[in-house]
Structure 1
């Protein structure tokens, strides 16, 4: 079988690439080991596919090469994705933090993309395991369990090793190394964090609280969720993208209520210290954060040093996580193919002409809220738009 391009990976990036290229007259073979296309898309956002975000910006991306995603994000806007949904007859809704979801199961979106690919001449080859891949006489030859496919272009859109239950592997990164590309070591991102046994806030599993979490020079104001061994929730998932082993997290449990102001307010003077902060924090959390020696004292009786120490405990709780919960619980992975050897406009390899990368296989990670999936759309679109008929 000879096609204009072979695309490895039938996820969001691979399908977008095939559809875009197909509409421009290029035939593609999309190869995936999974029994279904778009497996991660089908499960994202609780099955409704958090497909993009209203507040799309380069600030929501992690990449070792600053500014690399910027061009492609400008060329693939939020409105472009909404127009795509409208073309497929799929409704959408905007939720908190600008997150945009399908109003029906995301499987419907995958089916529409797959059908659009087939209508424009693409072959969607599922349940295919990869064998040898070589480049000779200007053609890539991809051996699969169902036969070989040849093409002058090869697109690696295989994703990252995050979420292995969906069939995720590091195959694309291993292939990149085969063609001489450096791979930035991958680590779990958008993942819960585990804390040491000595952490004084253990035992609050199930407690959720709005907070501000800081890690690696970035801060996020989102809810936190205490787990049996640490923390999860949107705030921790965001911070995990910037946290590195051995570094501390700083947590502000009262980001909108300055504790000193609360304690200085005359109307709170007769309240006990614990009683005051139970009004602003979940009871179980307040009981842990307020020292027993201060809990039953009247706020008006607190010495200045006690007020300042308590304010610090509430606004700058410091903990060094022991580790994350790992790739098995990660929604994404930071790291991947080094973007310094990739053209930022076309995503073509600078080392091997005709070789392209799209999606999470690259060292570009979107944060929680639809940004990672949007990068898949944007990068797949860019590759599919970059080819010329005389190439």
Structure 2
């Protein structure tokens, strides 16, 4: 108890370790506490074990928040180009996979080792597994009660993440602390998560599990918490419903009771390979079977399902009336279905909601009501799109915090 830390960071994940390394190298005395046996578990399992550590095109437009302007300052002060320089300085090989998404060539463990290396450079002390029992105090004099004893600190940084993947120790501890200090919390819910359906809503498609194709998907509305969205991404049919990047993205905007809308040809049309109207009006197709016409732009198994739903399976195009052609086109380009729900925290990649940004200073990530109490990373009501954006928020918010400690 004789030592007073400049900051104690609770949480040894992406945001916490990065913040610690930056602050330590600024000459601050930093202690990181984490309840897990292994640090950075969410980093380790991300990106199929290769960690999608940032995105070349990351911008405030890639984030959901009740205050869409909140993330601008941190993202501007520490853009993805800066983290890429850090990765390069450690000679970590990486590649761009899709739409600016950057992955390690070898292993996500390289990112964890890099963060620990940065902490070592800054003389950061890391203790784990250590359970934090309580936090008390005020600006400049905080007391942290832990399973390994008590510690005093000038500042406390909450970096314990969100609720997804409880199997690796995810908790709502940061939100509990926010509530303890009477800070508003936006109700959390799973994000970047597959959607489930009842059998009646999913008729015919539940037998196509494993099928993937690019689509245009829309969800949400102006009246929703985070508005509406439209994405061109890959959709995956599963035994329980829909998944894949398209659905994970749309699921962040979807609200219970609403429908999602899928244009099964939208993504193909967007790349200029064909025109949807021409497909349904081309008289050169007169002698072709309906499902074979559709199969020119989508998997045959899916084409047969749509043809069967309109009683057109096995019919030549010349036998299909103008009305039935229009109905088939409407089914395929504006397929509307109401999900029964999501697959929950076990399957979610990130958390929507968190500490209300109205309670925090966007320049420093500090609670306005409680100087010296900070919240960074996933526990804040800032949630990124799929593709490395959430890691970039961890780096950016951690950097902003570290600069003010």
Shorter chain as denominator, the TM-score bin is over 0.9
Contact 1:238/1:368 (8 A) holds in 2: yes
Shift in Å at residue 237 of structure 1?
0.6
Residues 288-334 of structure 1, C-alpha deviations (whole Å, 9 max, x = no match) = 11135322332234322111111100101000000000001100010
Q: TM-score, length-normalised on structure 2? A: 0.93
Residues 135-157 of structure 1, C-alpha deviations (whole Å, 9 max, x = no match) = 15731111111111211100001
Say if 2:330 is the partner of 1:312.
yes
What CA distance in whole angstroms lies between the structure 2 residues aligned with 1:112 and 1:53? Answer: 18
Task: Specify the alignment match of 1:298 in structure 2.
Answer: 316
Aligned pairs for 1:247-258 within 5 A:
247-255=258-266, 256=269, 257-258=274-275
Task: Specify the alignment match of 1:39 in structure 2.
Answer: 41
Partner of 1:198: helix, strand, or coil?
coil
Mind listing any 5+ residue stretches in structure 1 that lack a counterpart?
none
Contact 1:50/1:99 (8 A) holds in 2: yes
Residues 235-282 of structure 1, C-alpha deviations (whole Å, 9 max, x = no match) = 101111111111100001111154431121232222121121122221
Say if 2:219 is the partner of 1:215.
yes
Say if 2:291 is the partner of 1:274.
yes
Mind listing any 5+ residue stretches in structure 2 that lack a counterpart?
221-227
CA change 1:248–1:350 in 2 (3 A) is same
Say if 2:150 is the partner of 1:139.
no
Contact 1:181/1:338 (8 A) holds in 2: yes
CA change 1:137–1:386 in 2 (3 A) is closer
Contact 2:185/2:353 (8 A) holds in 1: yes
Residues 173-226 of structure 1, C-alpha deviations (whole Å, 9 max, x = no match) = 001111111110100001010011202222221111111111112011111111
What CA distance in whole angstroms lies between the structure 1 residues aligned with 2:318 and 2:34? Answer: 67
What CA distance in whole angstroms lies between the structure 1 residues aligned with 2:121 and 2:56? Answer: 30
CA change 1:386–1:138 in 2 (3 A) is closer
What CA distance in whole angstroms lies between the structure 2 residues aligned with 1:103 and 1:229? Answer: 32
Partner of 2:346: helix, strand, or coil?
helix
What CA distance in whole angstroms lies between the structure 2 residues aligned with 1:11 and 1:69? Answer: 20
2:210 to 194, 199, 206: 206
Question: How many residues in Structure 1 have an aligned counterpart in Structure 2?
Answer: 387
Task: Specify the alignment match of 1:366 in structure 2.
Answer: 384
What CA distance in whole angstroms lies between the structure 2 residues aligned with 1:77 and 1:300? Answer: 56
Say if 2:181 is the partner of 1:164.
no
2:279 to 262, 266, 274: 262
What CA distance in whole angstroms lies between the structure 2 residues aligned with 1:274 and 1:83? Answer: 51
Of stretches 97-106 and 155-164 in structure 1, the one that deviates more from structure 2 is 97-106
Contact 2:139/2:154 (8 A) holds in 1: no
Contact 1:359/1:380 (8 A) holds in 2: yes
2:192 to 190, 194, 204: 190
CA change 1:196–1:8 in 2 (3 A) is same
Task: Specify the alignment match of 2:358 in structure 1.
Answer: 340
- Runs in 1 of length 4+ with deviation above 6 angstroms? none
Partner of 1:187: helix, strand, or coil?
strand
Of stretches 116-125 and 361-370 in structure 1, the one that deviates more from structure 2 is 116-125
Contact 1:114/1:124 (8 A) holds in 2: no
1:226 to 227, 237, 240: 237
Contact 1:191/1:240 (8 A) holds in 2: yes
Partner of 1:382: helix, strand, or coil?
helix
Partner of 1:271: helix, strand, or coil?
coil
CA-atom RMSD, angstroms? Answer: 1.3
Contact 1:260/1:308 (8 A) holds in 2: no
What CA distance in whole angstroms lies between the structure 1 residues aligned with 2:216 and 2:118? Answer: 43
Contact 1:58/1:73 (8 A) holds in 2: yes
Task: Specify the alignment match of 1:331 in structure 2.
Answer: 349
Q: TM-score, length-normalised on structure 1? A: 0.96
Partner of 2:109: helix, strand, or coil?
helix
What CA distance in whole angstroms lies between the structure 1 residues aligned with 2:129 and 2:251? Answer: 33
